[in-house]
Structure 1
Amino acid sequence: MDPVTHGILVTGQGLLDSADQGGRRQVTLVTRERWDLATQSMGVPIDPILRRANLLISGIDLENTRTRILQLGDCRLRIRGETRPCERMDEAVPGLQNALDVHWGGGAFAEIIQGGEITAGDDVRWENNPD
């Protein structure tokens, strides 16, 4: 998995050219803030690419946001649930799985309800939705 600064989100599918397409888990997100908080206790810097999430965002808290709509640039994503960290995290750094397993530290998964192009630095905010 190589980091990129732009991509295309396809409505109802996910990130263009990503292995996972369709279903409710079309894209995965992790926040810089939760990643940094969880990994501080590890005692070594850990690159968020290790998490293998599709998107690294900041300025937004994902905890308990199931059904909320996130606007990323001109795109809209419906959060469907928490992405739980797996044993691969511990294979990379012992203790990382547990460190990420609180407050949605492993991120969230979402479906794309309005696709488009995204670029690093795009505005990220919650849409006011009644759900």
Structure 2
Amino acid sequence: MNTLRQSILAVAAVLGFAGVLFAAAGSHWVDGLDDPGRYRQWQAAVLVNLVHAPALLAMASLSNVHRHLLALSALLIAGGVALFSGTIYFAMITGGTGPGPAAPVGGMGLLLGWVLLFVAGFGKPGHPESPSS
């Protein structure tokens, strides 16, 4: 397994673990989630966290794509989850009123990561940037 695949797989495992951990934390340990608005924010963060973990797992198995775009896509998706979900988790745990400006930046990172994955899918086998060369 190459380093890119190993890295994406490791990040997917961390995101999956974190998603389950924060889902449990929201049910058992975080105060203030009885407020419907705060609860919705927490659930959105957990959903983004858990949905993108298996997406990254699938990305780790891709072989006939543009490697650099795949790496950048994975980085943007992982970073987007960290910013989006992480700031919501932090705000809810510390009693903040909302996620702050980093959450929308994370959301934009997620969107851009998905666009780059789409573009990476058009990488041609044998391209200097593709894994089959």
Point out the structure with the larger strand share.
1
Greater fraction helix: 2
Q: Name the structure, 1 or 2, with higher relative contact order (CA <8 Å, separation 6+).
A: 1
- TM-score exceeds 0.5: no
Larger Rg over CA atoms: 2
TM-score range, shorter chain: under 0.3
**TM-score, structure 2 as length reference:** 0.26
TM-score (norm. length: structure 1)? 0.26
